[in-house]
Amino acid sequence: MTHAAKSSGRSVDTSVIRDCTIDDAAAIAEIYNEHIRSGGSTMDTELKTTAGIENLIRGFNDRETILVLEDNNGILGWGIIKRYSDRIGYRVCCETSVYLRGGQVRRGYGTRMKLALIDRCKQLGYHHLVAKIFAVNEASIAYNERLGYEVVGRQREIGFRDGKWQDVVIMQLILDDVPPYKPELG
């Protein structure tokens, strides 16, 4: 669990980042549904239910997780680490994503969440982290670049959403301090 204890003049940020529990599923679904409705950060178009998120959490392997950012008012956002592929050769690669409530952007929460995800990825033995971002989402691309991710490609017209083709930028972060092969990861 990571805590924030900085003051912004008027109030102290008391938020924490922790592992999610099944009890967080409703809030996770609610936040993700905000992003589905806005259409700017996911190709999903069907709203998620609490039960659907519970099933997602229960279906994780031991190297997949969701972290939540919480303060006294509840869950402000969440981030996910999921395997890139079930093919054994990709066992050192995962995908990371962060979703915040609409009113919580540009407050540093996304950066804290992503840094917590990166730290957890190291603990889980991931060497290669992937982020997939709508090409029009320049703010998200810049945010990931500030955290060390680099653009490695653009998939043109990979999705059709909201009546138009969507390009996706592929970004990667190589964790040099994590060895490229760990047989015990199987």
Nearest CA to 126 among 170, 61, 78, 77? 61
Q: What is the torsion angle, in degrees rounded to the nearest 10, for the CA atoms of residue 130, residue 131, residue 136 and residue 141?
A: -100
pLDDT of residue 104: 63
Which residues, given as ranges, of the chain have pLDDT below 50?
7-8
When the pLDDT of each residue in the chain is averaged and rounded to a whole number, the result is 89
CATH of the domain at 144: 3.40.630.30
pTM equals: 0.88
Instruction: Quote the number of domains for the chain.
Output: 1
Angle value at C-alpha 142, between 70 and 150, nearest 5 degrees: 105
pLDDT of residue 154: 97
pLDDT of residue 172: 98
Residue 12: give the domain boundaries.
2-185
pLDDT of residue 59: 95
Contact (Cβ atoms closer than 8 angstroms) between residue 76 and residue 104: yes
pLDDT of residue 177: 81
pLDDT of residue 39: 80
* CB contact set of 46 (below 8 Å; sequence gap of 6+): 36
Structure tokens at 68: 């939540």
Cα separation, 176 vs 170, in Å, equals: 19
pLDDT of residue 151: 98
Cα separation, 98 vs 173, in Å, equals: 15
